[in-house]
Amino acid sequence: MTPTGSQNKLKIGVVGLGWVSQIFHLPLLTKMDDVEVVAICDKDKSRSKIIADRFNISRVYTDYQQMLAKEDMDAVDICTSTDTHLPITLASLQAGKDVFVEKPIARRYLEAVQMAEAVKQHKRKLMVGMNNRFRPDTMILKSFVEKGEIGKIFYVKAGWLKRISPDNKWVTQKDKAGGGVFLDLGIVMLDLILWLLGFPPVQRVNAKMYMHKTKTVEDSAIVTLEVKYGVTLVMESSWSFHCAEDYFYCNLYGSEGSAMINPLRIYKQLHGNLVNLTPVKVDSPLNLLKKSYENELKHFVGAARGLHTIISDGDEAVQRMKVVDAIYQSAQKGKEIKIK
């Protein structure tokens, strides 16, 4: 069912029409020459019709099962609340579709395992949205790290401090989200760091979580991880830190230099002097964000068309969720958790 040849468009159905669909997925997918968005689905019928008109999409559904049964599609793009990722993914894979699912893959490790196993069972493709891997600045940073430009990395500090969007109230509901700010923002930083370092195994975690303005999930999380090869990672994520503006950063410290993003900076020790190796032209934060989604979705489309293998697949997401489960366990028990 995978389309081959430039004349065939990848037919996609989009499920979930919240902010990430409206601001990134639909504007980008509908402009791609090799994609046709054949249908959209959302429980809110009136919103669906408005968005369908805006993007010139003729078929609208309120039930994803009906969309899967009636539409001739190659792939499904899932942008719904996390509690629905498992059932929609399983149904889509069973229907013979490739799947793109926004982060996090699921609420917990065992749900992610089910999804990854279904991919193998139905011989389809699954990509989990981790758009920060596709930012032009992080891709430049990764190339410097892989070439050993800043030496052996021994410490990474990263964080994402962001106010909750009024459109995303479900992220504070444990039954829908599975967790709080760490599953919303922290998991993205965890993935970014592990990807930059070439996915070293995480050996132990320590986590502290706080509930200042939330009732059932954490709104602030501070996590320390030890990974193989002696690298220490420290991550902070919060919806409630008192900051003047949203702040996203990742700093890497190596034996011969340091590097950071947002903004991108690369420094190397040469002959006793610290030299700035940062590329001269770096895009604006808004353009970097837009390009990250554009690159990510183009990658999924190419993989679904059989042009290359998937980056950020279900198996990677399972390993990530194993670490996430250990982080929540550490916070709950108030002690270090070792990961086997």
If you average pLDDT over residues 227-232, what whole number do you get? Answer: 94
Q: How confident is the model at residue 45 (pLDDT cuts 50, 70, 90)?
A: very high
**Residue 264 Cα distances to 141, 147, 253, 285, 306, angstroms:** 8, 17, 14, 10, 33
Reported pTM: 0.95
Statement: residue 280 has pLDDT above 60: yes
Give per-residue pLDDT as tens, 118-162.
999 999 999 999 999 999 999 999 999 999 999 999 999 999 999
User: Are 128 and 316 contacting, i.e. CB atoms less than 8 angstroms apart?
Assistant: yes
Q: What are phi and psi of 325, to 5 degrees?
A: -60, -40
pLDDT of amino acid 205: 98
Structural tokens at position 199: 């996915």
Q: Which residues pair with 237 in a beta bridge?
A: 160, 221
pLDDT at 287: 94
Q: What's the pLDDT score for residue 4?
A: 45
Q: What is the pLDDT of residues 155-187, one digit of tens each?
A: 999 999 998 877 778 999 999 999 999 999 999
Per-residue confidence band for 64, with pLDDT thresholds at 50, 70 and 90? very high
Laid out side by side, the sheet with 220-227 consists of 273-276, 265-270, 257-261, 247-254, 153-161, 231-238, 220-227, 202-210, 337-338
- Do residues 150 and 144 make contact, with C-beta atoms less than 8 angstroms apart? yes
Average pLDDT, the chain: 95
CA distance 155 to 174: 32
Q: What was the pLDDT predicted at 312? A: 97
Q: Which domains does the chain have, with CATH numbers?
A: 10-131+294-313 (3.40.50.720), 133-288+320-338 (3.30.360.10)
Phi and psi based region of residue 261 (left: phi greater than 0; alpha: psi -120 to 50; beta: remaining): beta
